[in-house]
Structure 1
Amino acid sequence: MGYDLVLEQQQKLIMTPELKLALKILQLPTIELEDLVKQELETNPVLDVIEDIPEEKPEDTDINIMDKNKLLEEIDWKEYFQYQGKSYCLENAAIEESQENNYENYVSYSDTLKDHLLFQLRALKLSKCERAIGEYIIESLDDNGYLTSSIEQISEELSLSREKIKKVLKVIQTFEPLGVGALDLIDCLLIQVNALGLADDNLITIIREHLDDIGANRLHHIAKKLSISVVEVQHYSDIIKGLEPKPGRAFSCGTDNRYIIPDVYIEKVDDEYVITINDSYSSKLMVNRYYKNIINNGDKSSDTMTFINDKISSALWLIKSLEQRKNTLYKVVKAIVDYQMDFFEKGSRYLKTMTLKDIADEVQVHESTVSRAISGKYAQTPRGLFELKYFFKSGVGSQSGEDISSESIKKMIKSIIDEEDNSKPISDQTIADLLGRKGIKISRRTVAKYRDEIGIPSSSRRKRY
């Protein structure tokens, strides 16, 4: 057995750091992209941002000294000194124009559930001990208004009797919104019906023992157990469904604010849709001239030159990647708008079936590129704010040969169910037959799937008596 040296040529796709950065930049939404650019500005001294310098307004040279003196005589100095010290600024002033949008400026404060309850607690005449118990109980509530600690735990923690804890808890349970301070769902519903004066023996029994039957619309079973009519059970069911199972969700929890910054703006101007990419940084980045001069005039062999060359290459690649992201995103969105023109003109019922391959073939890129370009990105359109993935819908075939998107079919299913007789709700098979008469080929299982996705219960649960 011999050993020989053999030369062999192979082609391999190597993911260089620059290529990885370009793919990452393409996939990032606007907010995360701005964070990345800020990080690069901090670590790369060569990279710089072009500042918007406000234009200086020319001085008015037409007014001569005599006119100025005349104006000074006409000033109401009494009024001037009355308002002296107050600052005024004209709308759309140059200083205001030079400030960039800061997302923290749009954050507003609203009372949380605990703030609202503490305000009501402090308005009552309570002893110092009772106030301390009340504050502890309120701080023990979750975002939905339920008590997360048991009475025994609170009693042990505060070294107080259970009777004192229960007394203050009863007071808190009378606060707005009704149902706060409950230990569980049943307790929450009972607090509300008692406060609203709706409680009777049958309603209390249904809440305590038959909530699952109410959820499944098994009204006949409840009527048989309580020896009452189905119509009465339906009335009790409507009362229960009108109560609030999560009293605290009407309030802000202080940490759940979510803001969506559109990556693309689509506007209709003179019967034409104009696409604008939200890129506040890509057009402002540049290589600092100071370092360019050092490269041109310095010693090419020094370590300093090597460092600056590396940083300049990194900066130029970042600027190129940002520009490439902008162009790719524009082409993809332009292809989406052209493909879904009926949606933008007529509404969501005219949304067509569209896949990544359709757009990739139009833009002449790979499907993975389209997937990265639309990942986590949103578009502000004349019809509202939509995630770009919203326009990529699967669908079913029709007799005309064109596929109809799932979103359009969901609208049709909802429209059919909205017009049904509640005493005789339409089954999934009947809906499939009705759509079949319109030329849409769809099975009963697909109807059931779409119905569940839009949050509509089955026909047995929609039936009313």
Structure 2
Amino acid sequence: MNAPKQGIQLKQTQTLAVTPQMTQRLHILQCNQQQLQTEIQQMLDKNIMLSRVDNSMDFELGNNDFTDEFDTNSDSLVDEIPEQLDVDADWDNVYDDYRETFDDRPKKIDDVDGFQEDWVADSASFDECLLQAIYLSPLSDEDKQLSLKVLQHLNDDYFLDRPVAQLAKTLNIDVDKLQSVVDCIRYLDPPGVASQNIQECLLAQLLSLGNNNEAAVNAYEILNDYYDYIDKKPDFIRRRLALSQTEYDTAMQLIRTLSPYPKPPDECTHQLIIPDVFVRQRMGMFFASANHDARYDLAINEDYAELSKACKGDEKSFMTAQLQEAKFFLSALDQRQKTVVRVANAIIMHQQDYFLQGDTAMRPLQMKMVADMLGLNESTISRAVNGKYLSFKKHLIELRYFFSQNLSRQNNALDDDVAASATAAKAHIKAIIADEPPKKPLSDSKIEKLLKTQGIDISRRTVAKYRESLGIPKTSERKRLK
């Protein structure tokens, strides 16, 4: 029998490492303007190296990229902070003295498309957030399709309307496979969706917090093992878990921060919308430019940067870590605006006819197509259009609105004039019904034929689906209404 041999082998592998800077940039890119202002305020509260600057320090009209160029001619500290942190590194690394300030440029604003104080809109749909979470999840395409089927079996509280085993029989799928998909949905953002009951929903929200402290552990044991006794026998729970009154109260305080249902109550009917870009026209072409009213007015605090020269030891580490974090945050803001403007320009260039003719001229467009054009990942495009709006002739339009399904039955028809989008089809259906004879409304079959004469080849069933989505009643009801 041969004895096992020891040896050294050289193996080359390729992995994707996410640095703190990449994580921060992705998070900032995901934020809409309202969320971004909250992030900025939180950063100002915790980072002494950041400060607000005078409003006179603004963007030049025509230079749409928020810049992180700094004055290198002043008596500043030597720039030796690296552009990237090591993987899994923390902010509190020690660096040499560093100081940077924004390039002070004069304000030149002659734009007529200023911010409108009455621009408001409903809060983002809970269903849209849920669908986006599934889209960005690590699930396979097959499991994502199964997830959409699961969403069709949720009740008004976004709980499953039947046990998983029964739902598996309804969908004719393996119960273990369905259970794994349901578990994944439960821990997406927002957490708790597809739970069986309030207990499962609370546990999903608690685990999604990612806390491993003593209060979180105690809260988990209370919810998991003694949920039915919380209101009835609190002393019994404390004795069984050997908790002091303070430990029990702390755990219960954490539990009370959770919501019994996945969908939070509507706290605000409307929220202010600040567009990220304006659509302008020059030499017959529409293009996007950054909204100068959505400025950040942030800069490195020169006083604290100068003070860090005299710091030593732990103070030096703290000041350089704060300066590092401030620089990366400003870089993330810069990258966010550049990416949003790039994506908006790619969308607008593809949808030039829309800005001349309206919905009937909307062309098919998918996020993958924009990602290929810009050399970005599809998930980056999704983050760049999430909650972002453009302003066109005093109208606010969400960037997601420009993505529409290709209805052409030819796979290669996307670049041809015959390609039709779902948005254009709905607009044509609405126009056809608006012009129909009042006493003899058109049936879905006749509408289908009229659409084909306009180059939109869809089935009668699709016509009915789009008509219903527009809130237009069927033929017999339209006749009675008129």
Give the aligned partner of residue 27 of structure 1.
30
Kindly state the Cα deviation for residue 282 of structure 1 after the two structures are TM-superposed.
Answer: 6.0
Name the residue aligned to 1:388: 399
Residues 49 and 284 in structure 1, CA contact (< 8 A), matched pair in contact too: yes
User: In the aligned structure 2, how far is the partner of 1:439 from the partner of 1:428?
Assistant: 16
1:133-282 aligned at under 5 Å gives the runs: 256-268=269-281, 271-273=284-286, 275-278=288-291
* Equivalent runs, 1:419-438 vs 2, <5 Å: 419-438=435-454
Residues 148-183 of structure 1: CA distance to partner in whole angstroms, max 9, x if unpaired?
Answer: xxxxxxxxxxxxxxxxxxxxxxxxxxxxxxxxxxxx
| Cα pair 1:48 1:286 within 8 Å, conserved | yes
Give 1:314's aligned amino acid. Answer: E
Match of 2:358 among 306, 327, 347: 347
Q: How far apart are the structure 2 equivalents of 1:378 and 1:17?
A: 28
Deviation of 1:416 (Å): 1.6
2:323 equivalent among 301, 312, 331:
312
Change (3 A) 1:282 1:385: closer
Structure 2 counterpart of 1:304, which letter?
E
Counterpart code for 2:478: R
SS in 2 for 1:258: strand
Indicate yes or no: 2:373 matched with 1:362. yes
Do 1:46 and 1:312's aligned partners in 2 also have CA atoms closer than 8 Å?
Answer: yes
Query: In structure 2, the residue corresponding to 1:341 is in which secondary structure?
Result: coil
Q: State the 1:339 CA deviation.
A: 0.9
Amino acid at match of 2:433: I
Instruction: State whether structure 2 residue 15 is matched by structure 1 residue 12.
Output: yes
Q: Choose which of 363, 366, 374 in structure 1 pairs with 2:385.
A: 374
Could you tell me which residue of structure 1 aligns to residue 49 of structure 2? 46
Deviations 1:113-156 (A, max 9, x none): xxxxxxxxxxxxxxxxxxxxxxxxxxxxxxxxxxxxxxxxxxxx
AA at the equivalent of 1:328: T
> Does the 8 Å CA contact 1:262/1:380 hold for their aligned counterparts?
yes
CA distance in structure 2 between the partners assigned to 1:357 and 1:402 by the alignment: 20
Measure how far apart 1:3 and its partner are. 8.2
Determine if contact 1:398/1:440 at 8 Å carries over to the other structure.
Answer: no
Q: Which residue identity lines up with residue 467 of structure 2 in the other structure? A: R
For the residues of structure 1 that align with 2:438 and 2:4, how far apart are their CA atoms? 87
The reply on whether 1:459 has 2:475 as its aligned counterpart is: yes
- CA pair 421-339 structure 1, distance change in 2 beyond 3 A: same
**SS in structure 1 at match of 2:280:** strand
Structure 1 residues 290 and 258, CA, compared in 2 at 3 Å: closer, same or farther? closer
Q: Could you say if the C-alpha distance between residues 382 and 52 of structure 1 is closer, same or farther in structure 2, counting changes exceeding 3 Å?
A: closer
Cα 1:421/1:345, change in 2 over 3 Å = closer
Secondary structure in structure 2 of the residue aligned to 1:457? coil
- Partner amino acid, structure 2, of 1:407: T
The structure-2 alpha-carbon separation of the partners of 1:336 and 1:418, relative to structure 1 and needing over 3 Å to count, comes to same
Counterpart contact for 2:404–2:423, Cα < 8 Å: yes
3-state SS in 2 of match to 1:460: helix
Aligned equivalents of 2:119, 2:463: Cα separation in 1: 42
Q: Secondary structure at the match of 1:423?
A: coil
Amino acid at match of 1:20: T
Aligned to 2:418: 402
TM-score normalised to structure 1 length: 0.53
| Kept in 1: contact 2:288–2:348 (CA 8 A) | no
Shift of 1:41: 0.4
Structure 1: stretches of 5+ with no match in the other structure: 55-96, 98-102, 109-252
- Give the conservation status (yes or no) of the 8 Å contact 1:343–1:351: yes
Q: 1:346 to 1:418 in 2, by over 3 A?
A: closer
2:286–2:349 CA contact under 8 A, matched in 1 = no
Higher alpha-carbon Rg: 1
CA distance in 2, matches of 1:410, 1:269: 30
Residues 257/374 of structure 1: CA separation in 2 closer, same or farther (3 Å cut): closer
Q: Which residue of 1 aligns with 2:337?
A: 326
Identity of aligned residues (%): 33
CA shift in 2, pair 1:344/1:353, >3 Å: same
Partner amino acid, structure 2, of 1:288: N
Deviation at 1:414, TM superposition (A): 1.4
CA contact (8 A) 1:375 1:389 kept: yes
Matched to 1:330, the amino acid is V
**Aligned partners of 1:106 and 1:352: how far apart in 2?**
30
Counterpart-to-counterpart distance in 2, 1:11 and 1:281: 40
Measure how far apart 1:23 and its partner are.
0.2
Q: Which structure 2 segments of 5+ residues have no match?
A: 58-108, 110-114, 121-265, 411-415
Question: Aligned Cα RMSD in Å?
Answer: 3.2
One-letter amino acid of the counterpart of residue 379, structure 1: L
Aligned to 1:294: 307
Pairwise CA distance, 1:451? 0.5
What displacement does 1:259 show? 2.6
In the TM superposition, residue 290 of structure 1 has moved relative to its aligned partner by 2.5
Supply the distance in 1 between the matched residues of 2:424 and 2:367 (Cα, whole angstroms).
Answer: 19
Conserved 8 A contact 1:282-1:323: no
1:407 aligns to what SS in structure 2?
A: helix
**SS state at 2:355 partner:** helix
Q: Deviations over 1:177-227 (max 9, x none)?
A: xxxxxxxxxxxxxxxxxxxxxxxxxxxxxxxxxxxxxxxxxxxxxxxxxxx
Q: In structure 1, the residue corresponding to 2:271 is in which secondary structure?
A: coil
Higher RCO (CA 8 Å, separation ≥ 6 residues): 2
Please, which moves more after superposition, 259-268 or 18-27? 259-268
Alpha-carbon contact 2:371-2:377 (below 8 Å) kept: yes
1:48 maps to a residue whose letter is S
